[in-house]
Structure 1
Amino acid sequence: MKSHNLNQQWVYGKLSLQEFHINPWVRLRNVRNIPFNAFMDKCIDCGNTEAMYRKGMNNFFKNTNSDAALELIDKASKGGHGAAKYAFALISICLGGEYSQQGEKTIGEMKVTKKQKEIRR
């Protein structure tokens, strides 16, 4: 049973959310009686950086606990999610003060790769 749980955690942690609509809360609300928020939280608990990024961005721009939202975006960034790193840097610049300096530094350190060009589109 422990092996099954570890496999399940691995799946939630690596699951690609690319085919999911950015905000499918309403459409997928009752798939197998599991609310979409619970699904996203499970993915986040298992280390899925795309889920962290999406939920963080969604909550930040909905003004839903901005501090917790920024923590999710930062965690996704530190987990290697390119769009999260870029978004966190831009948000930091907009916040001003010491955050602005760190955001500018991060943007300056980002080597422009083909993938980052795609993110910025």
Structure 2
Amino acid sequence: RKETRKNFIEFLLSEIVILIVERIASYSIQDLVSIKLNSRFLNEVANEHYVYHKVHWSAFSPKPRWMMNQQAISFMNICIASENLEALYRKGMFNFFNCNDPTALGMVNKAAEGGHRVAEYVLAIISIFEGSKSMREGLMCITNRKKNVPV
């Protein structure tokens, strides 16, 4: 009879493990991958949408290489479905400028509403170039941002 050994982390509450894995995902994509490969339990935890919401994107190239790799596309789509702000912003910007996708600015707007500062700024600039009422709103947004930036 084979006895299975549990990793000590499996004895912790799932919510605590999720918080730990979220924190790791927010710092390093490589460490997140290592966690997923560590055990079946950690792989399941790392696949929670909360974790994908926190993934940090600095490890990714600003160029959209993810278009060429199906695994990267799948990863990006999971992050978007989990409302990862950086994923929403990057995909929205790419689709806006390269695909004439009418939903693209919706993704950028969702990122801005979540607190993504660059997305807020980009939407303000786009509003300025649209003219009329949008132009005034964009200028007000930039003016307010300038007032809130510490010197």
TM-score (norm 2): 0.63
1:54 matched residue in structure 2: 90
Q: 2:130 aligns with which of 83, 88, 95?
A: 95
* Structure 1 ranges of 4+ moved more than 2 A: 3-7
Alignment gaps of 5+ in structure 2: 1-13, 15-43
Number of aligned residue pairs = 106
Greater RCO structure (CA 8 Å; 6+ sep): 1
Secondary structure of the corresponding residue to residue 25 of structure 1? helix
Q: Computing the radius of gyration over CA atoms, which structure comes out larger, 1 or 2?
A: 2
Cα displacement (A) at 1:104: 0.9
Alpha-carbon deviations, 1:77-105, whole Å to 9, x = none? 00000110111110111111221111111
Between the aligned partners of 1:50 and 1:99, the Cα distance in structure 2 is 24
Distance 1:26 1:5 in 2: 27
The one-letter amino acid paired with 1:49 is L
The verdict on how the C-alpha distance between 1:45 and 1:113 changes in structure 2, with shifts beyond 3 A counting, is farther
Matches of 1:20 and 1:6 in 2, distance apart? 19
Q: 1:19 aligns with which of 59, 67, 76?
A: 59
Identity in percent: 37
Q: Deviations over 1:18-59 (max 9, x none)?
A: 1101212255x04xxx3x332212101112000000001111
| Structure 1 residues 60 and 106: CA distance shift in structure 2, 3 A | same
